[in-house]
């Protein structure tokens, strides 16, 4: 099969395992040189034919650059989607959905979610005439209660939710939303399509901060949206926002994103295994008040997570340290392997005192530390935490 950008690809990729889809990047081979590494097309514009048509339909790089094609196709295959768009950041992708709404539209979202997006909703979203209700992530009855037929236009889910990793029952909430005529969008950044496929559970659109696990190397800022129905009226508005708003991904960043996705499977598998090992080691530790990780049977959302996550529970977790906020900060200052930095999903392990990042209105307890577990040796990471706990007493 030949793609729009002139590459050949395997015709049976939908039957392949995600590990094969990512490692092979769908097996595309550039026709001119037979290169297995995709080329970068830096051109911002494309020549017209003498009849004023375009050679392959491409006009201008903002939406038509061929460097985008393979990354979008890989995400379509991973998510089971019909079309993907790449954005300059995860925030740009999420905001494009909000901009596709109309004044007066009602949105239901989680109380605990990515803080920057929640802040945008309550500031720019409200000023744009949108209304919001925020509910507990794991309480399906609360979701159903706040979804209003004829009024609610979008239901925004984030599961596992940052930073307490609560789990939302995507299928149950999607069913209630669709009965009310609402669109369901899911932030799948933490789970990745390797562990959760929201479209199969009823979601209409899946969003990623591709800066995180999809790229996986802490060197690209990117966002993605993947739709289940590319012909829907709402998705067409999103595409217009994508093209007209200008928040598109650079071609070099798109190339790096695809390179990162080729190791997605092995990175997510290793990070998930490391996080589970750390969670089990510290679950009943005398210096830890609570470990928040959906893979633990003690986690309030474990049963739902076990049902809708396959292959692991991800590399994100939080720990609440005994001794309060000061002890938590002292502890995280003593970590050596875990770097004190924002973001998540990279190959390196990170630790963050989340409440100080979010500020005085944050709902996050000041004794909570968010851990993005990387792909290092699990025993070394456990030793790093143990040593930091001892030094912070």
Task: Measure the N-to-C terminal CA separation of the chain; round to a whole number of Å.
Answer: 62
Q: Please, which residues have CB within 8 angstroms of residue 349's CB and are 6 or more apart in sequence?
A: 337, 338, 339, 371, 372, 373, 374, 376, 381
**CA separation, residue 293 to residues 148, 166, 296, 300, 302 (Å):** 32, 8, 6, 9, 8
Bridge partners (DSSP) of residue 106 are: 131, 152
69, 76, 164, 187: which is the annotated catalytic residue? Answer: 187
What phi and psi values does residue 297 have, to the nearest 5 degrees? -60, -25
212, 267, 270, 354: which is the annotated catalytic residue? Answer: 212
41, 114, 213, 293: which is the annotated catalytic residue? Answer: 114
Rounded Cα distance between 314 and 272, Å, is: 4
Rounded Cα distance between 176 and 155, Å, is: 10
Active site residue 169: no
- The SS3 of residue 282 is helix
- Of 312, 287, 324, nearest to 373 by C-alpha is 312
Active site residue 380: no
Q: How are beta strands 131-135 and 106-110 bridged, if at all? A: parallel
Rounded Cα distance between 69 and 71, Å, is: 6
Cis before residue 160, ω within 30 degrees of 0? Answer: yes
Rounded Cα distance between 351 and 368, Å, is: 10
Query: What are the helix (H) ranges across the chain?
Result: 18-24, 61-64, 67-79, 90-99, 115-120, 126-127, 140-146, 170-179, 192-195, 233-245, 251-261, 264-282, 302-308, 324-334, 354-358, 378-391
- The SS3 of residue 266 is helix
Rounded Cα distance between 63 and 69, Å, is: 10
* 304 contacts 297 by C-beta, under 8 angstroms: no
Active site residue 212: yes
- The SS3 of residue 30 is strand
Active site residue 114: yes
Q: Which residues are catalytic?
A: 62, 114, 187, 212
């Amino acid at each position: 099969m030949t793609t729009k950008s002139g590459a050949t690809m395997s015709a049976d990729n939908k039957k392949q395992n995600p590990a094969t889809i990512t490692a092979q990047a769908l097996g595309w081979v550039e026709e001119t040189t037979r290169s297995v590494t995709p080329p970068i097309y830096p051109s911002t514009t494309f020549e017209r034919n003498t009849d004023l048509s375009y050679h392959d339909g491409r006009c201008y790089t903002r939406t038509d650059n061929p460097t985008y094609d393979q990354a979008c196709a890989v995400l379509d295959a991973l998510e089971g989607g019909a079309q993907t768009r790449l954005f300059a950041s995860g925030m740009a992708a999420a905001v494009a959905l909000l901009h596709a709404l109309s004044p007066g539209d009602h949105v239901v979202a989680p109380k605990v979610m990515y803080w920057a997006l929640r802040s945008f909703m309550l500031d720019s979203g409200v000023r744009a005439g949108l209304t919001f209700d925020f509910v507990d992530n794991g309480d399906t009855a609360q979701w159903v209660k706040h979804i209003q037929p004829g009024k609610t236009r979008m239901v925004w889910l984030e599961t596992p939710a940052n930073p307490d990793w609560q789990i939302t029952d995507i299928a149950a909430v999607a069913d209630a939303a669709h009965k009310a005529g609402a669109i369901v969008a899911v932030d799948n950044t933490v789970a990745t399509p390797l562990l959760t496929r929201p479209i199969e559970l009823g979601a209409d659109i899946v969003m990623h901060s591709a800066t995180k696990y999809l790229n996986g190397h802490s060197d690209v800022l990117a966002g993605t949206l993947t739709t289940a129905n590319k012909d829907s009226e709402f998705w067409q508005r999103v595409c217009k926002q994508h093209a007209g708003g200008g928040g598109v991904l650079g071609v070099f960043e798109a190339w790096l994103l695809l390179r990162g996705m080729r190791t997605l499977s092995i990175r997510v598998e290793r990070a998930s295994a490391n996080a589970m090992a750390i969670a089990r080691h510290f679950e009943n530790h005398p210096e830890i008040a609570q470990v928040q990780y959906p893979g633990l049977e003690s986690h309030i959302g474990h049963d739902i997570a076990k049902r809708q996550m396959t292959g692991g529970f991800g590399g994100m977790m939080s720990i609440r340290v005994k001794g309060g906020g000061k002890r938590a900060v002292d502890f995280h200052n003593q970590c050596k392997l875990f770097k004190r930095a924002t973001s998540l999903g990279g190959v390196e392990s990170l630790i963050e005192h989340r409440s100080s990042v979010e500020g005085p209105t944050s709902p996050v307890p000041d004794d909570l530390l968010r851990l993005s577990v990387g792909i290092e040796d699990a025993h070394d990471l456990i030793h790093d935490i143990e040593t930091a706990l001892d030094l912070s007493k």
